Amino acid sequence: MNVPTEAYVALSGVLFAIGAAGVLVRRSAIMVFLNVELMLNAANLAIVAYARHWAGFDALAGLSGQTVVFIVLAVAAAEVAVGLAILVAIFRDRASSDVDGLAEVRL
């Protein structure tokens, strides 16, 4: 079964839209981080889909797309580690992970 590239890109767009809506609507910082990760994974899906599409024309293009995905995943993992460390530090001080209340935090 051969799934067209457009289907992967459409799914990626839907996932990205869900993540963007979640970032704008949610109040919990943990849910905001989860939605940012959903957006990053949607971008990764689009990159892999295009790399798969271009791999038919040039094998090096497919490999470079997968390399970019590994770099994006590494950056996303670092972002989660730093973000959760900051969130834990704020939660210890304020006992809340409400994003609206973080505007008042002065470090």
Helix (H, G, I), strand (E, B) or coil at 28: strand
Output Rg (C-alpha) for the chain, integer angstroms.
18
Question: Is 12's pLDDT higher than 80?
Answer: yes
Mean pLDDT score across all residues of the chain: 81
pLDDT at residue number 19 = 94
* Selection from 15, 3, 79, 80 nearest residue 46 by Cα: 15
Mean pLDDT of 24-50: 86
pLDDT in tens, 74-97: 888 888 888 888 777 777 777 666
In the chain, the domains with their CATH numbers are 5-104 (1.10.287.3510)
User: What are the tokens at 26?
Assistant: 């949610």
Q: Between these two residues, 16 and 68, which has the higher pLDDT value? A: 16
- Residues in the chain, overall count: 107
How many other C-beta atoms can be found within 10 angstroms of the C-beta atom of residue 50? 18
DSSP string, 75-107: HHHHHHHHHHHHHHHHHHHHS--BTGGGGG---
Q: How far apart are CA 94 and CA 77, in angstroms?
A: 25
